[in-house]
Amino acid sequence: GAVVSQHPSWVICKSGTSVKIECRSLDFQATTMFWYRQFPKQSLMLMATSNEGSKATYEQGVEKDKFLINHASLTLSTLTVTSAHPEDSSFYICSANPPGLRYNEQFFGPGTRLTVL
Partner 1 sequence: QKEVEQNSGPLSVPEGAIASLNCTYSDRGSQSFFWYRQYSGKSPELIMFIYSNGDKEDGRFTAQLNKASQYVSLLIRDSQPSDSATYLCAGQPTGTASKLTFGTGTRLQVTL
**In angstroms, what CA-CA distances link 22 with 63, 64, 69, 81?**
19, 17, 10, 11
Rule CB under 8 A: say whether 61 interacts with partner 1.
Answer: no
The two beta strands, 107-108 and 112-116, are unpaired
Q: Kindly write out the interface string for residues 23-52 of this chain, putting x where it contacts partner 1 by CB under 8 A and - elsewhere.
A: ---------x-x-------xxxxx--x---
Q: Are 97 and 4 in contact (CB under 8 A)?
A: no
Instruction: Give me the least distance between CB of 92 and partner 1, in Å please.
Output: 10
Residue 60 sits in the site that holds partner 1 (CB under 8 A): no
Binding site for partner 1 (CB under 8 A): 32, 34, 42-46, 49, 93, 97, 103-111
